[in-house]
Structure 1
């Protein structure tokens, strides 16, 4: 686990997640220190990351959402590290987490918590110790408090929540129930 990344999340529990250039412009003007990039392609991702890093913020690229990086291969992570110069990645693929860890990048492994099988997969991931991310992100982030507590009890790494976080109540509910941070594309949440 990358302690530096965890400290950044502890100090900045609201993460701006951007899905277009308009959102990026607004996120760059906020106090959010970490930005999740949920859009782009292999032609423009370097420029997006450069703008974020020039603003003194942490740039996390969602590998699964960048057009042209869909192969799920280690070389895509190498590209994000060496060419794009991102600080870290977000993905649903454990193999990409493993490669990013080897390269010293920050890592977020996303889980869609839609049924009990998601909990089994989180537990299996932790039990086998493969591709241990810095944090896991659960979606949707407005899951019931008892589910957040259950995930915290089975996860060896801190948990963040994203998806459908739309107001102060959602943020406080997640944080008060053990989530380290929340990510949101909702610009109003960035200002909390």
Structure 2
């Protein structure tokens, strides 16, 4: 099982190099949109569903070779204790999980799951909590919210080398390109209009020249 999960996480990192947009899915109707744009996305974050339907969602994305991550605090009926996470890893089999909780990261890593920890930077205490959390356990990737304070990415990169995904309050392409300038690996967005575009430094240079 761990080799299978390792292969999937490797696919996600590979896709991040060429596709810097992650689709955050907040309602089922967005699933079809994400699937139609799978060649432009690095993966999907599922923030909708419940234990009765979530395996079906995961299986659909995996059948299209699109890495899929479950936000543990957004999926109804999923327990984050040892037994719940064991069921998640062995039966539902997502590429990984997203959580705001350090103890959930610890349990998920024991199960061999790829982990993304979400942090909300609403004040300086948020940065301090992030730094403290990383001394206890490191996730595989950090997700910073909201994305509209891109200078904070640089501050976080001073004390960690982990890849950073950022999202929240992104409304147009200029917002996305701004966070890349500050060192974000990728962005996550529930605005499906942003999923249709591709994002790379080379493309942005050409836009400026034109």
TM-score, length of structure 2 as denominator length: 0.83
Report the equivalent of 2:90. Answer: 82
Contact 2:20 2:42 in 1 (8 A): no
The residue aligned with 1:177 is 182
CA shift, 1:33, in A, is 3.3
Conserved 8 A contact 1:148-1:177: yes
> Aligned residue for 1:58?
67
TM-score normalised by length of structure 1:
0.91
1:115-141: CA deviation from partner (whole Å, max 9, x where unpaired): 111100111122x2x221011101111
Post-superposition Cα deviations, 1:50-97, rounded to whole Å, max 9, x if no partner, equal 11111110010001101112x432322222211111110000111221
Mark the structure with the bigger radius of gyration.
2
Matches within 5 A, 1:34-113: 34-69=43-78, 71-113=79-121
3-state DSSP class of the match of 2:137? coil
Inter-partner Cα distance in structure 1 for 2:87 and 2:171 = 33
Any conservation in 2 of the 1:62–1:89 contact (CA below 8 Å)? Answer: yes
The equivalent of 1:29 in structure 2 is 36
Gaps of 5+ in 2: 1-5, 198-210
Whether the aligned pair in 2 keeps the contact of 1:52 and 1:59 (CA below 8 Å) is yes
Task: Pick one of 101, 119, 128 that aligns with 2:127.
Answer: 119
Match of 2:162 in 1: 157
Aligned residues: 187
TM-align CA RMSD: 1.6
Post-superposition Cα deviations, 1:98-156, rounded to whole Å, max 9, x if no partner, equal: 22222222210000111111100111122x2x22101110111111x321110111234
Contact 1:140 1:161 in 2 (8 A): yes
